[in-house]
Amino acid sequence: MIPVDLPIIWAFIIAFAVFVYVVMDGFDLGLGILFPLFPEKRDRDVIMNSVAPVWDGNETWLVLGGGGLMAAFPLAYAVLMPALYTPMIAMLLGLVFRGVAFEFRWRTTKARNRWDIAFFGGSLLATLAQGIALGAILQGVHVAGRSYAGGWWDWLTPFSILTGVSLVIGYSLLGATWLVMKTEGELRDRAYHLSWIFLLAMLGAIGAVSIATPFLHVQYTQRWFDWPNVLLTAQVPIAVAAITALLLRSLANKYDYQPFFLTLALFALSYAGLGISMYPYIVPQSITIWQAAAPENAQLFMLVGVAGLIPLILGYTAWAYWVFRGKVKPESGYH
Amino acid sequence: MFEGWDAVVLARAQFAFTMSFHIIFPAFSIGLASYLAVLEALWLATGREVYINLFNYWLKIFAVAFAMGVVSGIVMSYQFGTNWSAFSDKTGPVIGPLMAYEVLTAFFLEAGFLGVMLFGLNRVGPKLHFLATLMVAIGTLISAFWILSANSWMQTPTGHTVNEAGQFIAADWLKVIFNPSFPYRLVHMVLAAYLTTALVVGAVGAWHLLRDRHLAGPRVMFSMAMWMATLVAPIQILAGDQHGLNTLEHQPVKIMAMEGHFESHKDGAPLILFGLPNQSAGRVDYAVEVPKLGSLILKHSTDAPMAGLNTVPRENWPPVAITFWSFRIMVGMGLLMLALGMFSLLMRILGKLYDSRLLHLFAVAMAPAGFIAVLAGWITTEVGRQPFTVYGLLRTAESASPLAAPAVASSLIAFIIVYFAVFAAGVIYLLRLMAAPPHPGEEGPSHEVPIRTAGITPAAGVTAEGAAR
């Protein structure tokens, strides 16, 4: 048998699940954040309808990310979750509010506004919490033995606030470009306008996080700037610049599909940058992928399922998106 | 604030609270998904309008209940890490993969086809739509399979070893998955879910029959639900009995707590019907008991000896009063379900199924019985497993996260406020949907084009859709 490095494979699988989650739930959380900017009921109905058939599937990737982490890297799960206690609970409660709002807002006229606020507030809270969690992981947590050894406010730093706000901006951009793709007329015009604003803000956020990260740990600085690493790592900012240029062009030319997919590319590059910083740690500077890995037989047992099922899942998920493809038409008379 | 509190007790309270809210929704949606698949199959087979009306009626209710199940379920999947990190570290290599398989084989299947099931009838046509409904229904059952396997392994762990880091490691995956209590628990829970749904469907049908006994939809749903109660309630009691015997074999201490057997009985244990278990004194106060019946039920012999909690070190006792009472509540609900099933069978034979107000009132009153039984049953089995998370091997006190009490107290309060606010609203919306009778031309939950297939046969639905393109 060829020797395979299972923990590396699993690190990529978990990273893939989290990335799919970020881009898929990212745009529908972004729509929630943008909700107050679209006060008209008609627009809100269209926005909701554009994601109602798929949001549940999008969130399932979050469950896979968490469940997969527990199964494949139980030590990392056991250290990170208590370290991120407050942001995690805040995220879960935020997701409760926005998740039920999808159904509840259609079941009441009197309290619809309340569920619209819940949709916005829940989306914002969940996004902020996810961004803060990311920052808190990057800056590292205090570990003793096999468990978290810090306090319950350790996660709160200027850096984690920065990553929290950055993610809010990023998801808003995803949401705005999704609307460009899925809507028509005046609603789409406003989505273009918002895309411009959030793209500029996103570039600022990427810049700020990129500048701040090397100051967290000297290892991050070495990883990015040491010769010959820099030959490889420099490709990331270069690619960001190229994608940005394409994105600006697509917005200027009012393309329908390109802005969304180019934004996804921007997310992918930021995510790759994150991976470059973190590797080979799963809890930065404390626990490596190999130290956290579950025993081989657990990782192998799940790998069989993942190899067979992920392609199938991607297949029927794509089918569901295909069924609800195209622009969402504002239909009157039903609700 | 909360500095003096016990963080582990708070974490247990939080898990119990969030779990109790969560279990209500899957218990309902497992059964309802299957019921919807049956309704759609009947519609496709017969073309009768009443079935698609009922389908669309219950689909709207399903959408709301399912959303609540999803959001409360995501909370559960992260709470293992946030509040039970030591447990996660130690058992992750064994139950983690089971839950990962649940996500891969069930959650994605449900979520992937849910959108088409809820909103897609017009877009994909009746046959593909039925496939979507079927996938969602199968998904709920696969989900029950994996999560109950994981839970059962915590109750009756087999097929594992322990490594030098103190982690459980699977030695034989088949023995882990099909651990001794799993088949019994799976059957018992799935039947419970079906009964829970049937009782809700029956109560809604009865509610509308009480107002107008000629309504077609309520007649059909009431009849279907009462068949379920008639046929499944006795099977469930049998399954419960078998599950109990399995527990006696693998978790005898739990049975001692359920029965209130503090004392050992050499020649036949009594069945304590009611009483007040007194844990500190080690006896049941004011016990009303039937001599030798306990041994007859559990050992199928009146004189079989049965050991009591006095043979077990006190630090390994579960909380007896909770286990004792929750078990009796569950059994009581089960007996009431059996009574409803038999009463409805009698009325059906007499040709009065749609006319007996007494039966309809009984059915309405039984609406929450399934939920109460499910909750009570889960409390029995989970509290009866205490003071362990992995039975006999890992103590609850050694499973918790290293969190300070104020952190857990704050999150517990937040969960209580949010869950009561959000899920109370959801239940009101559900009741509102149920309060209106299903009517001809019933529409599904679609937020866009009204479903035009309603009121016509499947074949015509396809034609109409073809013409619309």
The DSSP 8-state label assigned to residue B106 in this structure reads I
**Contact of B366 with B202, CB cutoff 8 Å:** yes
Angle at B376 between CA B191 and CA B2, to 5 degrees: 135
Q: Is B284 helix (H, G, I), strand (E, B) or coil?
A: strand
A107/B411 touch (CB, cutoff 8 Å), yes or no = no
Q: Using a CB-CB distance cutoff of 8 angstroms, which residues of chain A are in contact with residue B163?
A: 295
Report the C-alpha gap between B141 and B344 in whole angstroms: 28
Closest Cα in chain A to B166: A146
Mean pLDDT of B115-139: 90
Of A79, A305, A323, the CB nearest to B120: A323
DSSP states of A115-166: HHHHHHHHHHHHHHHHHHHHHHHHH---EETTEE-S-TTTT-SHHHHHHHHH
Mean pLDDT confidence for A143-147: 87
Amino acid letter, B344: S
In this predicted structure, what is the pLDDT of residue B457? 39
pLDDT bucket at B282, cuts 50 / 70 / 90:
confident
CA distance B296 to A269: 69
Q: pLDDT averaged over chain A?
A: 88
Q: What confidence score (pLDDT) does residue B297 get?
A: 84
Query: What pairs with residue B278 in β-bridges?
Result: B283
pLDDT at B465 over 80: no
B468 has a pLDDT exceeding 80: no
Task: Calculate the CA B341 to chain-centre distance.
Answer: 20
Across the interface, which of B111, B169, B415 has its CB nearest the CB of A56?
Answer: B111
Using CB atoms, which residue from A45, A92, A320 is nearest to B115?
A320
Give me the mean pLDDT over the B263-278 stretch. Answer: 87
Query: What's the pLDDT at B460?
Result: 39
Interchain proximity A324–B67, CB inside 8 Å: no
Q: Provide the shortest C-alpha distance from residue B60 to chain A (in Å).
A: 9
Cis bond before residue B387 (omega within 30° of 0): yes
* A329 to A199, B63, B193, B402: CA distances (angstroms): 26, 22, 38, 51
The enclosing H or E element of B370 equals helix B369-383
Enter the ipTM.
0.87
The span from the CA of B438 to the CA of B146, in Å, is 35
Which residues of chain B neighbour A54 with C-beta distances below 8 Å?
115
Which band of pLDDT confidence, cut at 50, 70 and 90, is reported for residue A33? very high
Contact criterion met (CB < 8 Å) for B448 and A92: no
Q: How many CB pairs below 8 Å do chains A and B form together?
A: 256
B199-258 pLDDT, tens per residue?
999 999 999 999 988 888 999 999 999 999 999 999 999 999 999 989 989 999 999 899
Q: Which three-class secondary structure state does DSSP give residue B394?
A: strand
Distances (CA, A) of B51 to B57, B72, B354: 10, 31, 18
Res A41: pLDDT: 86
C-alpha torsion A298→A302→A303→A309, nearest 10 = 180
CB B228 within 8 A of CB B198: yes
For B76, what's the count of Cα atoms within 13 Å in the CB-facing half-sphere? 18
Total residue length of chain B: 469
pTM metric for this prediction: 0.88
- How many secondary structure helices (H) and strands (E) does chain B include? 15, 6
Over residues B318-347, the pLDDT tens digits come to: 999 999 999 999 999 999 999 999 999 999
Give the tens place of pLDDT for each residue, B56-93. Answer: 999 999 998 998 988 898 898 899 989 999 999 999 89
